A and B are shown apart, each in its own frame.
Chain A
Amino acid sequence: MQAFLRAIVEPGFFSSPQVQLAAAIGGVVSIVAAGIGVFTVIRGQSFAGEALGDIGAAGGSSSYLIGIGPLWGFAGISVAASAAMELIGIQRVRGRDLATGIVLGFGFGLAALFLYLGSNDESTTGATISVLFGSIFAISSSSLPLVLGLGAITAAIVATLYRPLLLVSVSPELAAARGIHVRAVGAAYLFAMSVAVALSAFTIGAILSTALLVGPAASALRLTSRPHRAILAAAGIGLGCTWLGLLLAWDSYYWPHKGWPVSFFVVTLVLLVYLASAPLSARRRRRA
């Protein structure tokens, strides 16, 4: 108990370089993922986001086999999968659940194979947990520039397409009549989303990646009726959940079973915020 208190009062937390790196990477990723997630929810593409994360597991696990950084693996396969989705026209029809479901099952199958093939190798110990559930405290500092770069690219795409994306989300017909290339906007967004999902998978694991993408966004949509405020609120919620998750995980070193996974805390906080936002949304819905 004393040790637990010491962790809060006299924090090795803030001075640990491991924590600082995790806070930087987790911060950037949560802001980008949550901001992009607002459009994912608005456009009804949550399931596509889930699929990209799951397929990303194959990329993350193959990266251990071929010896590249896991983020490259996640991002490479996620972007490729989004391109495939675009080609079969998934973004235009919202309800292609079946095709998406089958493809994401295949992604997990590949991940299982790659993780099995790599399981004899000493250096890949813990790869399964890392790929599926994330291990943010174990991320190498050499990944930071890539995280920042990918984060900046996705944020720039959404900022650039902000107004056309809103119009397309309201009515593709109306957007087309105004000279907006509806399909190009959708494809660019899908690309940005696939990168955001890869970042999220890299940070909190492939299986949990959608939680950071759509969880804060879904809560934010309940809290405000303005698009830019929803994006800011989602980013704030994502950042708060991630940082608080890091702190709790750090503290959990002094709990039974020492060192609980960060991802568990992050997704739990995301869920709690979502549940807490329900009564607020109910009040907002009642129109004067």
Chain B
Amino acid sequence: MPALELSDVTVQLGGRTILDDVSFTLGQGELTGLIGSNGAGKTTLLRVILGLLAPTRGTVTVATDGGRRSIGYVPQKFMLDPDMPLRGRDMVALGIDGHRLGLPRPSRARRELVQQMLAAVDAEAFADARVGQLSGGEQQRILIAHALISHPRLLLLDEPLANLDLRSAREVVNLLARIAREQQISVLISAHEMNALLPVMDRVVYLADGRAACGTVDEIVRSEVLSRLYGHPVEVLRVHGRVIVVAGDSDDAEPTHPHHHDHDVEIF
């Protein structure tokens, strides 16, 4: 059974079609990039997968664990006051049973499990500092450990590389690739910029105007495929191992999509 299967998912909000017949399947142990510019529908898609938003049409099948969706989630918006009395270690422990009512019961097994997770994401060095005082990259590691500690089949990350410097971004990407491989879970990473993910991405779900194309990078990131997806000609350039998607001849662009002119270069 796949970790995640979407078939013909359509979401309409306030008369607008946000997602249009999106279908794809994620297998175990694979790292998939959910790529698209701002407004392409990435966040909506994540909300549908998390069960926070019911699709207008179509079905979402997520692996379950004891009736609960087996998903670890790392949100994008994460603002913590440095005064918040919560260490990285405490945040990871909340991943075990943070949704439960009542007071937690500390135990040696719990502490060891937290320690293992901290080690798995190389976060032991800063596990006793307040989460609000950690750098962006350090917070990502703590959040990843928080999401992984319940052993989900699927790990979702919303723009984890935004606001990270290049080095931290590379470290987080390598960590996620290792987690997917070693723990055989399916990792789905949303990003508006795919280059940081290129070395590790097994597959790509490319979103444009709510439509999706899914396959390997070589299958999807090509001029003819993306032109069909965008509904107007675009060109995929490969420069020094990086991918750049630029708008093609603007005369052929559909007049119904005027906002395309706002960003002639989709991905840089």
Contacts and interface: CB of A to CB of B under 8 A. Distances in A.
A167 B75 contact: no
Given A163-B104, A227-B90, A285 B82 contact: yes
Given A160-B102, A162-B103, A163-B98, A171 B77 contact: yes
A180 interface: yes
Interface in B44-93: 50-52, 68-69, 71, 73, 75-78, 80-87, 90-91
Nearest to A231: B85
Contact of A171 (B78, B81, B126): B78
A280 B4 CA distance: 49
Interface residues of B, number: 37
Interface string B133-149: 10000000001000000
B94 interface: yes
B101 interface: yes
Contact of A167 (B98, B126, B129, B130): B98
B35 to A, nearest CB: 21
B101 A164 contact: yes
Nearest to B99: A178
Given A170-B86, A221-B85, A164 B77 contact: no
B84 A169 contact: yes
Contacts of B130: 225
A179 B103 contact: no
Contacts of A161: 101
Contacts of A159: 102-103
- How extensive is the interface on chain A, given as a class? 35 or more
Contacts of B97: 163
A167 B99 contact: yes
A179 B102 contact: no
A152 interface: no
B68 A179 contact: yes
A276 interface: no
A164 B86 contact: no
Interface of A: 38, 41-42, 44, 159-164, 166-167, 169-171, 173-180, 220-222, 224-230, 285, 287
A224 B86 CA distance: 9
A164 B98 contact: yes
B167 interface: no
Given A169-B84, A226-B90, A285-B133, A160 B101 contact: yes
Contacts of A177: 50, 52, 71, 73, 75
B100 interface: yes
B22 interface: no
Contacts of B102: 159-160, 162-163
Nearest to A227: B85
10 contacts: A159-B102, A161-B101, A163-B94, A163-B104, A171-B75, A178-B73, A179-B68, A179-B69, A226-B85, A230-B85
